[in-house]
């Protein structure tokens, strides 16, 4: 009996201790939850206090707060849309997703997706805001998410071992902006990240994050189809044969196949003012160069002079001249940093091109392939002085042609037709001539002819050339008579 009582007392003491520990844990967990929510609120305070879509009221204090918290840059989606994308996927309605999908139509990352793919992507994607200088992904880390940049910038750094200096590494850096995507190559090929992604120093980063499983389920087929088309286009250019498989994957990620109709301008920069390298797969296009010229006074020998400052928007007493400098056909490339890419490129026929951002190509320009190609194009491309010289030659030719046409039109035309308007060989066919005389008229059209004796049918030719112009007329008897006042012809 005594042992039973002791055991009951021990059980009661242990149970009370366990209950106390559970209470302490629950209190700590609730406190931690509150702290977690406060930290999340502070972290997302930048976009949650956005008053871009809030109208002004009558209260001056409220209006001052609204004006001070407005975003300067244009937002694709509103504050309410961001709140929707922060909720769990199950609680998002079809109307809300349709509204967000219509607003993201001009978004560069979603431009090539169909409406169904956009809808499925927005159903699973989550809106996240990151503070400046936060490291999102490190080099060598396993790929877990795909990021779509809505606003802000991302610094990309890659550590490469230097074969010359064994102690240190070479760090190459470039930047991603709104509309770009990163992480999809590592997710699709199930490989670790080859670069480190860090948020820029300004205003933070707003992204749509999609998990690796959802990305493969929704976009794997469409992305693989797009990349296969880019691979097909790159096989038509021998310069891509010198790169490895990993580099070609980066080119496929940034590349895009576009079609331009005739007389359309082919842009050399994208919406973010970044250079684009264009490879012509099929079709032809012309390069139009603008030169600034100045009119000289009438007293000077030169009519036009080339302006020294070609970057000036307006030149006093001058005008802009547009000249076609070259014609680009299948297999040509422009936009590698050469001087030709600074001018307008207009499609002559329907053009199929492969467009790749220039920073993607230059990031992998290890053997200086693209730099050497740009230098070679600058060698044969005409300079501004040569273009101006061709302009003067064309202008002189147009003036001469105009004068020549005016002189021909202003000449007095004869109203009466004479026998001399008909060639001698044609006139000889209209009458009956013997073979010898017909051959003489063909060989020696300047010989003197005599009248025809119809009775004897004898043709005589005097081999005497006349320095004066001969005039023939059709007589009443049906034969040719020479009218000449200086000589007399006898039968």
Q: What is residue 405's predicted lDDT score, i.e. its pLDDT?
A: 81
The C-alpha R_g of the chain, in whole angstroms, comes to: 43
**What is the reported pTM?**
0.56
Q: What is residue 209's predicted lDDT score, i.e. its pLDDT?
A: 92
Q: What is residue 350's predicted lDDT score, i.e. its pLDDT?
A: 92
Confidence of residue 33 (pLDDT cuts 50, 70, 90): confident
Structural domain includes residue 331: yes
Q: Are residues 367 and 428 in the same domain?
A: no
Q: In what helix (H) or strand (E) does residue 345 lie, and over which residues does it extend?
A: strand 344-347
Q: Are residues 385 and 443 in the same domain?
A: no
Confidence of residue 414 (pLDDT cuts 50, 70, 90): low
pLDDT tens-digit series, residues 168-197: 565 667 788 888 888 888 888 888 888 899
DSSP string for 92-132: --HHHHHHHHHHTTT-GGGTTS-HHHHHHHHHH-EEEEE-T
Boundary (domain end) residue, out of 360, 394, 428: 394
Q: Are residues 360 and 434 in the same domain?
A: no
CA angle centred on 286, ends 283 and 288, rounded to 5°: 160
**Domain around 360:** 248-394
Structural domain includes residue 9: yes
Could you tell me the CA-to-CA distances from 200 to 131, 176, 275 in Å, in that order? Answer: 9, 9, 21
Boundary (domain end) residue, out of 342, 361, 394: 394
What's the distance, Cα to Cα, between the start and end of the chain in Å? Answer: 179
- Residue 1 confidence (pLDDT) above 60: no
Structural domain includes residue 68: no
CB 123 within 8 Å of CB 89: yes
Q: Are residues 206 and 274 in the same domain?
A: no
Structural domain includes residue 64: no
Q: Are residues 373 and 438 in the same domain?
A: no
Most confident of 160-164, 340-344, 486-490: 340-344
Beta bridge mates, 187: none
Most confident of 63-72, 230-239, 384-393: 230-239
Q: Are residues 14 and 84 in the same domain?
A: no
Return the higher-pLDDT residue of 333 and 367. 333
Mean model confidence pLDDT for the chain: 75
Structural domain includes residue 192: yes
CB 44 within 8 Å of CB 129: yes
- Residue 391 confidence (pLDDT) above 60: yes
Q: Are residues 260 and 357 in the same domain?
A: yes
Q: Are residues 95 and 203 in the same domain?
A: yes
CA angle centred on 403, ends 399 and 405, rounded to 5°: 120
Q: What is residue 160's predicted lDDT score, i.e. its pLDDT?
A: 67
- Residue 99 CA to its chain's centroid (Å): 30
pLDDT tens-digit series, residues 444-487: 554 444 444 444 444 444 444 444 333 433 333 333 344 443 34
Q: Are residues 381 and 424 in the same domain?
A: no
CATH number, domain of 168, equals 2.60.120.10
Confidence of residue 243 (pLDDT cuts 50, 70, 90): confident
Structural domain includes residue 237: no
pLDDT tens-digit series, residues 304-324: 777 776 665 555 556 778 888
Structural domain includes residue 209: yes
Interatomic CA distance for residues 73 and 57, integer angstroms: 23
Residue range 334-344: average pLDDT?
A: 83
Residue range 324-350: average pLDDT?
A: 86
Q: Are residues 294 and 154 in the same domain?
A: no
Q: Are residues 265 and 375 in the same domain?
A: yes
- Residue 266 confidence (pLDDT) above 50: yes
Q: What is residue 399's predicted lDDT score, i.e. its pLDDT?
A: 83
- Residue 40 confidence (pLDDT) above 50: yes
Number of Cβ within a 10 Å radius of residue 261 = 9
Structural domain includes residue 61: no
- Per the listing, tokens 């470039």 go with 174
Q: What total of structural domains would you count in the chain? A: 4
pLDDT tens-digit series, residues 136-158: 988 888 888 999 998 888 988 87
Q: Are residues 123 and 174 in the same domain?
A: yes
Residues of the chain with pLDDT > 90, as a percent, come to 7
Q: What is residue 344's predicted lDDT score, i.e. its pLDDT?
A: 85
Residues near 411 by beta carbon (within 8 Å), at least 6 away in sequence: none
Return the higher-pLDDT residue of 101 and 30. 101
Q: What is residue 164's predicted lDDT score, i.e. its pLDDT?
A: 57
Residue range 412-430: average pLDDT?
A: 68
């Amino acid at each position: 009996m005594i042992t039973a009582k002791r055991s009951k007392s021990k059980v009661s003491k242990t149970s009370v201790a366990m209950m106390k520990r559970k209470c302490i844990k629950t209190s700590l967990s609730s406190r931690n939850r509150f702290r977690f929510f406060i930290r999340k609120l502070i972290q997302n305070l930048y976009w949650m206090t956005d008053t871009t879509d809030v109208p002004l009221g009558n209260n001056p204090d409220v209006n001052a707060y609204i004006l001070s918290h407005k975003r300067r840059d244009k937002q694709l989606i509103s504050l309410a849309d961001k709140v929707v994308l922060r909720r769990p996927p199950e609680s998002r309605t079809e109307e809300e997703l349709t509204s967000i999908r219509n607003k993201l139509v001009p978004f560069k990352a979603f431009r090539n997706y169909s409406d169904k793919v956009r809808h499925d992507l927005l159903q699973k994607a989550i809106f996240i805001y990151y503070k400046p200088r936060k490291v999102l992904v490190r080099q060598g880390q396993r790929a877990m998410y795909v990021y779509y940049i809505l606003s802000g910038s991302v610094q990309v750094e890659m550590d490469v071992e230097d074969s010359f200096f064994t102690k240190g590494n070479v760090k190459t850096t470039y930047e991603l902006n709104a509309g770009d995507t990163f992480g999809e190559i590592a997710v699709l090929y199930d490989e670790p990240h080859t670069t480190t992604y860090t948020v820029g120093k300004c205003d933070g980063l707003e992204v749509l994050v999609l998990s690796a499983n959802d990305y493969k389920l929704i976009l794997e087929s469409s992305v693989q189809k797009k990349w296969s088309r880019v691979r097909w286009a790159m096989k038509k250019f021998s310069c891509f044969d010198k790169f490895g498989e990993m580099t070609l994957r980066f080119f496929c990620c940034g590349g895009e196949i576009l079609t331009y109709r005739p007389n359309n301008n082919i842009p050399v920069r994208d919406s973010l003012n970044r250079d684009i390298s264009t490879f012509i797969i099929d079709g032809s296009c012309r390069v139009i160069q603008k030169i600034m010229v100045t009119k000289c006074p009438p007293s000077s020998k030169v009519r036009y002079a080339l302006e020294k400052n070609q970057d000036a928007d307006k030149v006093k007493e001058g005008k802009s001249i547009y000249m076609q400098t070259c014609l680009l056909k299948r297999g040509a490339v422009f936009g590698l940093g050469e001087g030709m890419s600074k001018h307008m490129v207009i499609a002559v026929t329907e053009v199929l091109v492969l467009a790749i951002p220039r920073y993607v190509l230059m990031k992998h320009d290890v053997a200086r392939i693209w730099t050497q190609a740009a230098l070679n194009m600058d060698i044969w491309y005409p300079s501004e002085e040569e273009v101006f010289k061709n302009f003067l030659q064309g202008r002189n030719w147009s003036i001469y042609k105009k004068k020549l046409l005016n002189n021909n039109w202003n000449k007095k035309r004869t109203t009466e037709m004479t026998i001399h308007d008909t060639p001698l060989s044609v006139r000889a066919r209209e009458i009956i001539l013997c073979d010898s005389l017909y051959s003489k008229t063909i060989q020696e059209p300047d010989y003197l002819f005599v009248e025809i004796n119809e009775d004897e049918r004898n043709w005589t030719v005097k081999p005497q050339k006349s320095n004066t112009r001969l005039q023939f007329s059709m007589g009443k008897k049906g034969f040719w008579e020479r009218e000449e006042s200086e000589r007399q012809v006898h039968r």
